[in-house]
Amino acid sequence: MEAARTESLLERPLVESAALLVHGYLSQADRAVRPEALHDFRVALRRCRSVLRAYRPWLGKAAGKRIRRSLRRLMRQTNRSRDAEVHILWLEGARPALRRGERAGLNYLLARLHRRRLAGHAAAAAVRDRFERLDAALRARLERTAPADLTFGRALGERLQEYTADVSARLTAASEPASGAELHDARLAVKRLRYLVEPAVDGLTDGAAVSTALKGMQDLLGELNDARMLAATVDRELARVSTEQTARLRRLAVAGTDEELARARRRDERLGLVRILRLLHERRQELLRLLRNDHLDAARSACASLRRDGAALAGGSGAPSPAPHPLP
């Protein structure tokens, strides 16, 4: 059933298939516009953006700057809540690795992140109204989009060749010591390729294996990026706490009792924040080893398979030719 649906999608006119995908993703997003379904809402918006981005030359105003900027703004409005939730989850998981004297720093950081998450939820409350307006505008523009003289499959083939070349180049860079920004760019490229592939996965030579390889790479690069962002947050909080703790100790040294001074020393949040930075560094090194030892080859094989499929689809053949070797 799924393979037949994919074949139909590939053989239909491009604009018709792209519109079907966008309508489906908009409906998914509409069902998830609430704080407790934030992840599903963001995924649906990303998938919608991926279709508009990939087939922009043929979708006219439906994929114009105004629509794409509006989608990007909606995503940014939910970033604060999403990042805080992910960081809180990681820190709670790290709690057993901290000594008793270090947990004051953990609790301080968690309290800050919980406040940030609540503020993000409050800001995201306005997202529903903006999404509803965008939903209506995008659906209306799709209805007015002129048909294009090619199938969805052929356009997909062209994009597969373009996207796999971009991902392959970024994976080569990631195989060497890479900066956080380079790894972040690689994650975005892998994510775009995965979302491009998803609607047609049953019509590709090694669709299931390709999708699994890309998801594994995307998840790993995503965790690396989250660790980098959380470390930056901890750095900022460490600077803030250092200033506050120094002022507190100076005040107690002059006007406090010995007991108050000893209590302030025991409550020093800096110990926990430094320990968290160390744990994040160790996790990042572990992830980089996994990237280079376990994921890069699978992602490269996925790109090679997709390039072959892309060439077959762009050439107008009914289906990709079999790969000479299965994906690992």
Residue 310 has pLDDT above 70, yes or no: yes
Query: 294 lies in a domain?
Result: yes
Which residues are within 8 A (CB) of 295 and not within 5 positions of it... i.e. 6 or more apart? 213, 216, 217, 220
The predicted-structure confidence for 21-68, as pLDDT tens digits, reads as follows 999 999 999 998 877 788 899 999 999 999 999 999 999 999 999 999
Query: 205 lies in a domain?
Result: yes
* Separation between Cα atoms, residue 283 and residue 298, nearest integer Å: 22
pLDDT score recorded for residue 2? 57
* Separation between Cα atoms, residue 251 and residue 227, nearest integer Å: 35
Query: 322 lies in a domain?
Result: no
Query: 242 lies in a domain?
Result: yes
- Give the number of domains in the chain: 1
* Separation between Cα atoms, residue 140 and residue 24, nearest integer Å: 14
Residue 99 has pLDDT above 50, yes or no: yes
Query: 196 lies in a domain?
Result: yes
Are the CB atoms for 314 and 161 separated by under 8 Å? Answer: yes
Which residues are within 8 A (CB) of 115 and not within 5 positions of it... i.e. 6 or more apart? none
With CA atoms as reference, report the closest residue to 150 among 58, 13, 52.
13
Are the CB atoms for 13 and 156 separated by under 8 Å? Answer: no
Residue 320 has pLDDT above 60, yes or no: no
Are the CB atoms for 323 and 238 separated by under 8 Å? Answer: no
pTM: 0.86
Query: 231 lies in a domain?
Result: yes
The predicted-structure confidence for 243-270, as pLDDT tens digits, reads as follows 887 777 777 777 778 777 667 666 788 8
Query: 130 lies in a domain?
Result: no
Query: 207 lies in a domain?
Result: yes
Q: What is the mean pLDDT of the chain?
A: 88
Which one has a higher pLDDT value, 27 or 173?
27
Residue 9 has pLDDT above 70, yes or no: yes
Residue linked to tokens 């008793």: 100
Instruction: For residue 292, give its domain range.
Output: 150-313
